[in-house]
Amino acid sequence: MRNLLSVLCLLLAGLLSFGGLAGYQLNQLLRSEEPVREIAGTLPQQPEFSQAVTEMLIEDLANRLPEELQWAVPGGIDQMLNPILAQAFNNERTLAAWDDVLQQTRSGYTAQLEEIFAAGSSGDTSELDIELELTPIAEAMTAPLREGLADIAGWVPGINLETFDFIAPEIEIDIQAAADSEADPYTWASIAAFSRWWLFYGIGAAVLAVAGLLIGTGRTRWYALAGAAVLAAGLGLWIVTGIASPDLQHPPGVPEAGAVILDHVQTRFTSWAQPPWWVFSGIAGGVVLIGMAGALLTPSRRR
């Protein structure tokens, strides 16, 4: 009976150690500012992203400008707007706006998952989609244009400056977060909700590991320790090759800016998520060796 309890304690310790690290990473991703900043904070510095957003803004802004201003601008609206908006990515105002977008998206998505956990789910995977509100970026990028609008339009006949209201376009991109069409939103919402207890999982793993070694006798406890470590290492490698290195597909109709975001996030997320799991799996492998060595060095019981 003692050895059976030892085996159960050690196996549960292996599972809880896995849950502790997984919960810690997910909790950091959902409830801390730095991880999402590390993963996506440099996106405005990527030429592909800045170009895609600039093109979206130019298309929208060209449709918003009065016809009198469009024909009066030498070279056309595109040539006028492109240099202004392209330079707008290289200022602190735009970078600060992007950081606000990231943090608002993170906190909003966390609230979205918590709402699913509290109220239940319809089972539609679209409940897991991420809404990326780029309007603050548009406002920051077009600020120089809006501030200089009076100087540009003041000499154009037919423009009523008192009623002319140049508003930055509202841009929102829906990102499909669930690659698996059979993903259960409530399951993911439950994982997100339970991730906040990651510290208790880690403490529980340590307590159960010590208890398992103390309760067990002879070689059995060492074999149980090695088996639990093999389980933990296997789960760690499963995360490394799966969840920590996702293959984010481009859904049909996704804007170019959204495609650039997905590619960038995929690369940066893997760089952020994988290293702790390599360390975790390496430590678990070391524990396997300790367990096997302990079993070999423990004298067999003689009747």
190 phi and psi angles, rounded to 5 deg? -65, -40
Residue that has been written with the tokens 């909700």 in this structure: 193
Q: Which amino acid is residue 201, in one-letter code?
A: Y
Averaged pLDDT, 220-241: 93
Of 85, 112, 97, residue with least CA distance to 174: 112
Q: Is 170 helix (H, G, I), strand (E, B) or coil?
A: coil
Phi and psi based region of residue 245 (left: phi greater than 0; alpha: psi -120 to 50; beta: remaining): beta
In this predicted structure, the answer to whether residue 74 has a pLDDT above a threshold of 50 is no
Paired sense of beta strands 130-133 and 172-175, if any: antiparallel
Of 92, 86, 98, 81, residue with least CA distance to 171: 98
The answer to which of 98-102, 145-149, 180-184 has the lowest mean pLDDT is 145-149
Averaged pLDDT, 81-105: 78
Q: Which residue has the higher pLDDT, 171 or 263?
A: 263
Q: How far apart are CA 25 and CA 71, in angstroms?
A: 54
The answer to which of 6-15, 17-26, 137-146, 268-277 has the lowest mean pLDDT is 137-146
Q: Give me the pLDDT at residue 176, please.
A: 67
Averaged pLDDT, 227-245: 93
Average pLDDT, the chain: 80
Going from the C-alpha of 169 to that of each of 50, 93, 136, the distances in angstroms are 16, 17, 9
Going from the C-alpha of 183 to that of each of 126, 128, 243, the distances in angstroms are 10, 9, 14
Residues of the chain with pLDDT > 90: what percent? 38
Looking at the DSSP bridge assignments, the partners of residue 175 are: 130
110 pLDDT band, cuts 50/70/90, is very high
The C-alpha angle with vertex 15 and arms to 194 and 195, in degrees rounded to 5, equals: 15
Residues of the chain with pLDDT > 70: what percent? 72
The answer to which of 35-39, 169-173, 299-303 has the lowest mean pLDDT is 299-303
The answer to which of 77-81, 156-160, 204-208, 219-223 has the lowest mean pLDDT is 156-160
CB 210 within 8 A of CB 154: no
Q: How far apart are CA 16 and CA 30, in angstroms?
A: 20
Q: Which residue has the higher pLDDT, 253 or 8?
A: 8
